[in-house]
Structure 1
Amino acid sequence: MTRRSASLALITGLAAALALSGCAGSASPEPTGTVDPDATLTVGLVLEPTNLDIRHTSGAALEQLLIDNVYEGLVTRTQGNEITERLASSYTVSDDGLTYTFTLNDGIVFHSGTPLTSADVVASLQAVRDDESMQGHSELAGVASIAAPDASTVVITLTAPDQNFLFSLTGPAGLVFQNGDTTDLKAAANGTGPFTLGTWRKGSSISLNRNDAYWGEKAGVGEVVLDYIPDFTAGVNAALDGSLDVLTAVDPNLAPQLEKSGDFVLTEGRTTDKGTLAFNNAKAPLDDVRVREALRRAIDHDALVAAVGAGQTMYGPIPELDPGYEDLSDIAPYDPERAKELLKEAGHEDLTLTLTIPSFYGTTVPQVLVSDFSKVGVTLKVNSVEFATWLEDVYSNKDYDLSFVLHVEPRDFVNFANPDYYFGYDNPEVQSLYAQAKAETDEKKSAELLAQAARLVSEDHAADWLYNGATITALVPGVQGFPEDSINSRIDLRGVTLSK
């Protein structure tokens, strides 16, 4: 898959769950009772995977379930998107940024009982690099060779420096599987992680059991049951009736019910979710930068965030958790009078546009936009469509004026450096800066280049970023160590404990 299709896959996987991901007072549960090492932790999630083959199937539902819990890579990432070792005890990068040398931890064993060696790593990564059908294939396209000089060492050589390479290894592209294994990955699993796959009751739940043979620190609970509850109200009701210890993706409109019960602590987590108002840069009148700037200045972002009940304002393409973030609120502040002036200069004082939006996002965002745009003389028609229609009309055929989706993938600035992406944005200087940032071996310098490119994108008003989403999680007070940030795409359950 291309990186843009991988990004879209995450949109597909999380769209319904994140339509109203919201905001709550952040707090940490106070410990109660004695930690029960054999406890069963029950977690409410929204989207269930369609199958378990994370090598060939995209979607955040699979990553939430499997990465770091059942399968592991050489490296992983923290809640703050920092890269850290996992199967590798250490790694080094050559000065020219081309050679990565990983040393494996001792005693790693697959769930099948077979010890892991560097040969398993080599086979796993080579399969992704060579097979276009595998998730992360495009991310390893720049790998020249993968070698195992001994049983505990892996050496990866790139054809050119790639600042994103290590981060790519934290996702599906970098997961390690047993070489020659015949496990049916659609229905079963054989990883190295702190949990083994338990029972999958399709349409209901999936359980994970602690792996007592795990090579690292053992999981803090004996079992985790992931209950899939696609309806937000039903999820809250399940929490209130005592069926859940944790409820993720709490609808902000329903959060007060959990708070008032006194039985839950609500935490607010940061994400890389970008509520993106896409402009069709290649189509009149959106090909006029004055029109795009006018639309941005017409939107009261603070009021919109309050209406959605989620996260924080965002004025550029890079969220706070990603390299290259900069506060760009100075570029297009709320100024409806200036918006009117710009529309007049562009000859569009009486403008009608259509917003194409997947129906599962609800009406909150469209209502705010319709109201704000009307104040500057722009009539906004809302075309609410099924997601399959959005994929065909907007994403594939680029037949739209404005659109809204939640882009959730981290480090996806490449979308604005790709003139073929559905935004229709083509700026050679941005493309050059992104290429330089990717090839830059110094992490700080790479981030500075990304920041320069992001400012140009915002100054071009290539899109509007309505908000940087947040997610609410409700926990019973006995739960400790449950991740707060970035859980829309990753939930490392190893460190979670539950008190009696």
Structure 2
Amino acid sequence: MTADSQPPWRQPHSRRDVLRLGVGLFAAALLAACTTPEDEEPEPDQTPESTPPPGPALPLAPMPAIPAVASNGLLRLAAVGEPAVPEALTYSTLVTVDPRDARIHSDLADFVEQPDQLTVTFTMNPHALYHPRASATNGASAAIDADEAARDFAIRADAGEFLFSQVVEEITAVDPLTLQLRLRAPFALLLDQLGDVTTAGIRADAPSTVGIPLGSGPFIAERHEDGSLTLRPHPGYHRLGLPLLRAIQIAAAERERTLGAAFAGGALDILDLGSPDSVLRASERSDARVLQRSSRRSRGLGLSLVGTKGGREVRFHPAFQDQRVRRAIAISLDREGLASYDDSVAAGPIGPAFAADALEPATLGLHELFEHDPREAARLLQAAGHEDLTFTLEAPLTQPLRGLAQLITRQLSEAGVTAVLDLVDHSRLQTDLGQGDFQAILFELEPVRSPDLGLRLHVSGGLSGVSPWGYSNPVYDDAVRDVLAAIDPGQRAEGARAAQRLLLDDVPAMLPLPEPVERIAIAESVGGYAYDAYDFNERGLAHLWHVDTGSASVPPQPVAAGGAL
């Protein structure tokens, strides 16, 4: 339940998992009871498919304007060791979703309809082509139509991949330009996952020169003898005039410190910053800037309300059942102090990485749970009869969370609360958190990859059927169930914000804490690079990246065949 060590698309998922994600606990149980993993695929209909009636169109974001910049720039990147092929730059998907505003962006599909709650139809771009085959003598590229997409999705389904074996029930190429997906249950992350190249990047039935199937993304990868990569524009890319870059070079470096020196010397355009020293050194480069964003590593202070969870007796504190006590603990926390402890940013139940689904920073700042008022906290505790509240706070043995736990205990003491630290190793913390066996617990999740997790952590059934906090709010559960059934990301985001406001007003048993940040340094000459868009920056915006060459009249220069730093 804690920190997923792998991204969701690399983890095993049961049928129960997807149903819980899609329609909530009650509908999930019903549908799971009606299906089994051994269900056979239906026999294909021998009669010609009829064109489905048009349904409500899901709104697509307008195509962004192409900046008036030189299109022959070279973007220079590097990695320690042999760089992996950036599949987000070499594959296309049907659509992508921008987490900043929940808008759907077209890719291989130019039109999306939802005829009913379980059906989504995509109209394909008629100009999409795969990258040229290495064996092709005339440089011709194969076209991508609905049949190609259905073929690749069927391969994924046969391989047991989560999205197409557990979420999608039927894949139909209605005609060459119309693809229809029939779902087993409403699934709010459908379009997000269809926009993930690892989950749904459409692959040709032919290999590329870098050992992966051919794609149709904006760039074609070429591996060099030293392990470095060059990515060149796809000449048949379906967006006219794109991508803007002449090439992307990804050099191979032996050590992390080599990358810092290369960036400082102007040999790299973008550098991940993993330490305060690297941030300081990068900021010394006059023609570069430092960007930051949430690391998506959600943190929380969990309170255990009940002594039995999942039929097991566990530790808890009865005082936490009183909303006044939970509110007192919340307003005892100085969130600005917590954020400054290790450079974190404010976060609600859904973290700021999913800006469309998350509550706005201004909303969080004005909510009474995010105020710092130890005097009012003490008054609430006295009114609840718990002015001498003492409980055990379980926390990680290692930094930085150990120091954060110590800071939290000092802040709580200002309101008269005594939190006795119980420092444990990572394995013990995970076990206790998963079983809900604690009085209070401080934890951090691995980078969260989807906004639904921030909602599901608070539902009555938690992530696995039992809430680790013992918290239950049926009204909130109903709100989350509606959110997780919304196919339209914009509708989902609106519902998610409303559900979070409801949750905070009820004072949850898990209090979200500020999330640590991550940073990059980027040359001022690089444009179109939206660091705060996370994966969408590569999936949906890479064709608009550009490097200012100083003059639009500068002729293209040959790209060197890779290199090591």
Is TM (by shorter chain) over 0.5? yes
Aligned to 2:55: none
Change (3 A) 1:159 1:378: same
Aligned to 1:149: 174
**Amino acid paired to 1:366:** A
Of 309, 317, 332, which aligns to 1:285? 317
**TM-score normalised by the chain length of structure 1:** 0.74
Partner Cα separation in structure 1 for residue 424 and residue 258 of structure 2: 24
Contact 1:318/1:411 (CA < 8 Å) preserved in 2?
A: yes
The one-character-per-residue Cα deviations of 1:419-446 (angstroms, maximum 9, x if unpaired) are 2436444433222111123335777665
Change (3 A) 1:300 1:236: farther
Partner Cα separation in structure 1 for residue 473 and residue 412 of structure 2: 27
Partner Cα separation in structure 2 for residue 92 and residue 309 of structure 1: 43
Aligned to 2:136: none
Change (3 A) 1:494 1:336: same
Aligned to 1:39: 74
Partner Cα separation in structure 2 for residue 181 and residue 419 of structure 1: 45
Whether 1:240 aligns to 2:261 is no
Change (3 A) 1:429 1:218: same
More deviation, 260-269/359-368: 359-368
The one-character-per-residue Cα deviations of 1:375-430 (angstroms, maximum 9, x if unpaired) are 333235263634xx268524544444313214532322233336243644443322
Equivalent residue pairs, number: 452
Of 144, 148, 170, which aligns to 1:120? 148
More deviation, 85-94/439-448: 439-448
Partner Cα separation in structure 1 for residue 270 and residue 282 of structure 2: 11
Whether 1:259 aligns to 2:283 is yes
Partner Cα separation in structure 2 for residue 307 and residue 431 of structure 1: 34
**Amino acid paired to 2:547:** L
Partner Cα separation in structure 2 for residue 279 and residue 109 of structure 1: 54
Of 61, 64, 82, which aligns to 2:103? 82
Contact 1:75/1:88 (CA < 8 Å) preserved in 2?
A: yes
CA drift at 1:99? 2.8
**Amino acid paired to 1:259:** S
Any unmatched runs of 5+ in structure 1?
14-33, 53-64
Partner Cα separation in structure 1 for residue 288 and residue 347 of structure 2: 30
Of 465, 469, 483, which aligns to 1:437? 483
Contact 2:206/2:213 (CA < 8 Å) preserved in 1?
A: no
Matches within 5 A, 1:363-382: 365-376=404-415, 377-381=417-421
CA drift at 1:317? 3.6
Any unmatched runs of 5+ in structure 2?
11-68, 134-140, 307-314, 550-565
The one-character-per-residue Cα deviations of 1:163-193 (angstroms, maximum 9, x if unpaired) are 44323322257523336557899x6343221
Partner Cα separation in structure 1 for residue 293 and residue 190 of structure 2: 26
Contact 1:322/1:411 (CA < 8 Å) preserved in 2?
A: no
Aligned to 2:341: 307
Partner Cα separation in structure 2 for residue 250 and residue 188 of structure 1: 30
Of 235, 240, 253, which aligns to 1:212? 235
Aligned to 1:414: 456
Contact 2:283/2:290 (CA < 8 Å) preserved in 1?
A: yes
CA drift at 1:147? 0.8
The one-character-per-residue Cα deviations of 1:332-358 (angstroms, maximum 9, x if unpaired) are 121223333445536472524233338
Partner Cα separation in structure 1 for residue 535 and residue 406 of structure 2: 25
Of 474, 482, 493, which aligns to 1:428? 474
More deviation, 140-149/286-295: 286-295
Contact 1:118/1:150 (CA < 8 Å) preserved in 2?
A: yes
Whether 1:325 aligns to 2:359 is yes
CA drift at 1:196? 2.8
The one-character-per-residue Cα deviations of 1:16-38 (angstroms, maximum 9, x if unpaired) are xxxxxxxxxxxxxxxxxx95726
Aligned to 2:378: 340
CA drift at 1:110? 2.7
Partner Cα separation in structure 2 for residue 466 and residue 215 of structure 1: 43
Whether 1:354 aligns to 2:393 is yes
Change (3 A) 1:330 1:105: same
Change (3 A) 1:350 1:324: closer
The one-character-per-residue Cα deviations of 1:236-288 (angstroms, maximum 9, x if unpaired) are 44432444211134545653332234242223446766443344455412753
Aligned to 1:18: none
The one-character-per-residue Cα deviations of 1:143-171 (angstroms, maximum 9, x if unpaired) are 34221022221012335544443233222
Change (3 A) 1:208 1:402: farther
Change (3 A) 1:194 1:315: closer
Aligned to 1:192: 216
Partner Cα separation in structure 1 for residue 193 and residue 432 of structure 2: 27
CA drift at 1:48? 9.2
Contact 2:349/2:358 (CA < 8 Å) preserved in 1?
A: no
CA drift at 1:475? 1.4
After superposition, the CA RMSD in angstroms is 4.1
Aligned to 1:71: 91
Contact 2:204/2:214 (CA < 8 Å) preserved in 1?
A: no
Change (3 A) 1:101 1:455: same
Contact 1:373/1:379 (CA < 8 Å) preserved in 2?
A: yes
Matches within 5 A, 1:154-173: 154-172=179-197
Aligned to 1:31: none
Contact 2:303/2:509 (CA < 8 Å) preserved in 1?
A: yes
Of 296, 318, 324, which aligns to 2:330? 296
Partner Cα separation in structure 1 for residue 255 and residue 406 of structure 2: 24
Change (3 A) 1:183 1:207: closer
CA drift at 1:229? 9.1
The one-character-per-residue Cα deviations of 1:443-466 (angstroms, maximum 9, x if unpaired) are 766545433421233223232222
Change (3 A) 1:447 1:342: same
Partner Cα separation in structure 1 for residue 235 and residue 98 of structure 2: 23
The share of aligned pairs that are identical, in percent, is 18
- Three-state SS of the structure 2 residue aligned to 1:73 is coil
Aligned to 2:563: none
Aligned to 2:122: 102
Change (3 A) 1:318 1:428: farther
Partner Cα separation in structure 2 for residue 236 and residue 303 of structure 1: 31
The one-character-per-residue Cα deviations of 1:106-141 (angstroms, maximum 9, x if unpaired) are 332333444322123223334555654x2545xx73
Contact 1:433/1:453 (CA < 8 Å) preserved in 2?
A: yes
- Three-state SS of the structure 1 residue aligned to 2:533 is coil
**TM-score normalised by the chain length of structure 2:** 0.67
Partner Cα separation in structure 1 for residue 209 and residue 75 of structure 2: 27
Contact 1:121/1:176 (CA < 8 Å) preserved in 2?
A: no
Aligned to 1:221: 246
Contact 2:299/2:442 (CA < 8 Å) preserved in 1?
A: no
